[in-house]
Every structure is written in structure tokens, then in C-alpha cells.
Structure 1
Amino acid sequence: MRSGQITDVEVIRVPLRSKFRGVSFREALIFKGSERYAEFSPFLEYEDQESSNWLRAAIEFANTGLSKPIRNKIEVNATLPAVTEDEIAGVLLPFGKFETVKIKVAEQGEALVDDVARVFATNKLFPRQKIRLDANGGYSVKQALELLQKLDGLPIEYFEQPVETIEQLVELKSSMLAMGLNVKIAADESIRKASDPMLVAASGAADIAVLKVQPLGGISSALEMSKQMALEPVVSSALETSLGISQGLFLASLLPSLDYACGLGTVSLLATDIAKNPLIPVNGFLEVQEVELDQGAVRQLRVDSARREFWHQRLDRCLNLL
């Protein structure tokens, strides 16, 4: 790999407005390639093998010309972390207008009753908006069924990764059919963390594929994967800065069909950003565009020397795996 593909390396830490899956900040290594800047931001607990996919995606984006988009703007959903009922309105305010809200459930330390209350409270505040549930694989089949029964009658668009394994997803879908619970299942972790990401489609375990560019190794890889899986696609973020979100935007712009609002509005969850043109939704949409880096913001968000060393070593290890 040529050294010219990765230059002008910076490491930043961006605070979040509210805790998200226990995370209160995001760290990222950003660099310049032959075409543009890119972001490498696997979560801190990820091992090098998994993180190397994120680096492959960043290198591709930084050093490859972009194809002409099929669509120039992408509808996005709002995203609600596992907050209290009193916090819901304030957390969703930065998203502006939206037609769909994804609600995080199955948070560690929370009970099913908390999730039910959060969903009903959100529906009361936004009665016309569609609802998505995202459990990140945190429920058992029994708990997922119980939640759906309690929420029956609400406008649930789909349930994202309700349980952990493909076997559990198959069992859940079968039980839902028998109980008359007509809600689509979306697979996230069962695709991006699987040794065989095609298995979820082959098993009939999901209706929708959640595509995340960095975890899937890049735009070209995600496009090919979506084509082979033949599930309905939706593109989502990995809680990135605008630099990372732009990769997802270009993926969404290139999918042959896209019938769902995408989870790419998550810059609204950050307390600040590193773009001169931050990718904040306007009237529920994001314009497909490249991001211009705000060097002043980058300087303000630089990490200390110990964190820089951590990320530089991580970069070197992941490069050796490509």
C-alpha cells in the first residue's frame, strides 16, 4: 500500500449531546487520500480484524473517484437514544422535520417497561411519524415478542436486529407469523459482524438489510453485498462525523432502489462536527455532497499524545491486515 494514500493524519475526539449505547464521545482518525479526506472510526472495543474493514472503506473513499449518483438527496430518519421520557423532545429537536424515528431499545440496565414507555411517549409527541425499533441484538425471542405485542397498533415500520443470532431471528419471524404480528425484520449486526454476511438472507431471517459503509469495507463492497443478498436495503451510519456520513450518503445515492429513509442524520447527535458544511438534515433530507473539512474544528478536537499514539498504532496494525 502506497504511503501517499494516507497523508495529513489527525486524531479527534467529538462529544455527543446524549449518551448513545453507553458512548459519550466518538474518536476518529482522519486522513487525506489522493481524492479527498476520509474517516477511520471503528469503536474503541473493536478488534483489529474487524476494524480493518473500516480502514479499507476509508482508504477506498479517500482515493477513488465517485460515481454519478442515481439520486441527489436522501431522506433520513431521526434517531432516539435510550433517554428518559422528559428528554425525548429535546433530543429529537436538532433533527428538525422527520417522517420516521428510530428508537433504541434493549439498552443495558433498562427494563422492557422502560422501552415500552419510551416508544409510547415518542408516539404521543409525534403521532404521525413512523417508528423503527433497534435492539442491537439485545432481546431474547420471548422479550422481542412481548415488546411487539405491547406495541401492537403503533405504526412500527420495522424491528432492527431484535435478537442476536440468525437462529433466533428465524425463530422470531416464525413466532411473529403464528401470532399475526406483521412487522418487518431488519438485520444489522447479523450482516456487518457475521463471518458470512450472506447467511441472514439465505436463511430467510430478515426482510431488510442495514448497510453501513465502514463496517462493510467500503461503498463498492456494500453495493455488491446488497445486490447478492436481494433484501430491501437501508443505509445507516456508525455514529460518525459528517466525513464518515458522506460515505453513507454516496452509497445511498447509488443503490438501484431505496424505499426507506436512511439512518444518516446522526450528526445531529454530536455536540460539534468537523465539516464546514455539516450534514444536518433539512426538511428530512440530506443533499448528496462531499464534505469540506473545517481545519479549525479539527484543531480544537485534537486528542492528546497518548490517544494519538493509540490510533497511529491501530492504523499500522490494521494496514498490515489489508
Structure 2
Amino acid sequence: MNRDTRPHSAPEIVDVAVVGGGPAGLSAATALGRSRRAVVVIDAGEPRNAVAAHAHNVFSRDGAEPLALIAAAREQAAAYGVALVDDRVTRVRRAPDGFALETAGGRTVQARRLLLASGLRDVLPDIPGLAAHWGDSVVHCPYCHGWEVRDRAIVVIGTTPRSSHQALMFSRLSDDVVFVRHDSPRDAASDADLVALGVRIVDGVVARVDDDSDGALDSVVLADGTALPARAVAVGPSFEARTELYEQLGGSPSVVEGVGVVIPADAVGMTPLPGVWAVGNARDATAMVGASAAAGTMAGAALNMDLLVDEAAAARAQGPGPRPRTTA
């Protein structure tokens, strides 16, 4: 059942509708709420890092549970009048005053601006056994999860053009790192760097990942039957931003080679579509929690100024007189 956790009813027309209640969306909403903007955050409750037990490299909160971070951010955003709605936006369209959003729960929200902070999906390589350990002993980011797999036998599976770079970073964390070429391109300079830092290179294709009798990750098995001991596996998933709403409005996603699909936007989140902004992993597939939160704050500030420019133009057209202030 969809749960509405708002402290009060959202205005009929809000200044900004934020789709996605992760670090980026909530940070943007908080910045806007502190500027007395009417904001609604609609969140489907599918955070990308839900599979991870802890979030790392988060300023002053390293090791915090991801869902605990979100809970604290929601409480703080609500204190500034941000409306929080647990629901899924299924459709968006242009409306006379901006945008009309429809949710799975039957709600319709009118908004002057739209901020897409709906994150992305990690699409793992189609290798049997990987998914069962995703977020635990199968990882992709040495900065997010590398410390937790330090000193283990680590196998890096080459699935992207940057996989050798990934293996190079994991070499800082263990003396037992093997790089399996799989389907990543050969690069003589990268190979030389890996060998120089003690990484063993195996030219082979991975067939599956096996567990031991206790269900823990045990080995990476190649197509020729060779079993490589592995207590951790690093892979490069394809990152696919949730672009459905952007495409409903006529937008075209961007393909970043070796990374995946994102929503195109500038440094503060403005997309090519007027009135539509994108932030966090929806725009930058490689952004970690801290970077996504910072980007959300910047987007919130930029959105506030964008609205102010419109309001100033309308006020000039209206002429002298009192100005109503839209508040949450």
C-alpha cells in the first residue's frame, strides 16, 4: 500500500516535483524547502544501494546504513515543509502551468518544474552466480566496498573497457588480485601497469561463479574448466538510468561508452527539455552518495533561481503591488 508521510497536504500546484527520494532528490528538496518553495518528493522506495549493508565515504557518516541515512534526510526535509509521498510516478506530461504527474496510487500532482532524481539500475553481466552475492562479495567500486574485501583473493572480471583500470585500483587492497580478460579489450599499456603492480592476468572467458558448501563465494570458473579461487569478485555492471519519464516528455537518453545510459544534463542538472532537471545517478552514473547529495543541493539552488527569474518577469509585467509568496 502506498503510504503518504506528509505532515500536511501538498499544495494543488507545487513549485517543484522531485521524482526519487534518494540522496540527490532529498538534498534538492531540502535546499528548495529552505527557500520556502512548495516541494513534493515522490519516491517508489527502490534505492540503488539497498543491497549494501553500509554506505562509505559519506562525510561524518561513514559506515551508516543506507536506509538510516534516507530516514534522517526525510525527517529533515519534512521540517522545511517538503511533502513526502511514497508512490511511483507512472506518467508525466506537459501542462499549462508546467507538468502533470500521475502516480500508481491514483494521485495527480501539478508542478512548475520537474526534477528527476530516480537513480539507476545496475545491470550485471549474464554470468551465473554473480547476482546472489551482489553488494556483498560481488562488488564494483573499490571506494564503496574495497575496504570490506581487503586481503581476500579478488578476481576482477573484464566486462567493460575500463575493467583493467578497476583491477588496478583493487591491487591497492589485496596482494592476490587476478584480472580475467573475459570480454574487455586488450591494452598493452594497461596490462603492463597491472603486471608491474602484481596483478595476474588471465586470458579467458568466465562461465560461472561457484560457492562453497556454506554458500559463500568460492571460485570463478572459466569456460575451459579452470577454477580460480575467489573470495571476492569485482565486475563492471552496466548502469541504466531510469529514463522512462524523461522519454515520455520527448527526451532522448545519452549513452556513455563503457558506463551505460543516463539523462543528459549540465553541471547543475538542467536537461535539454525546458523545465526538466536531472540529478544524482540519473545524470551521473558514477556518483557516490556524497557526490549525489552535493549535486542535489546545487540543483535545488539552481531551480530556485530559475523560478525566481520567471517570477521576476511576471512581476514586472504585472506592475507595482503586493506579491504573494508561494510556500510549502
Q: For this structure pair, what is the TM-score category when the shorter chain's length is used for normalisation?
A: under 0.3
TM-score normalized by the length of structure 1: 0.23
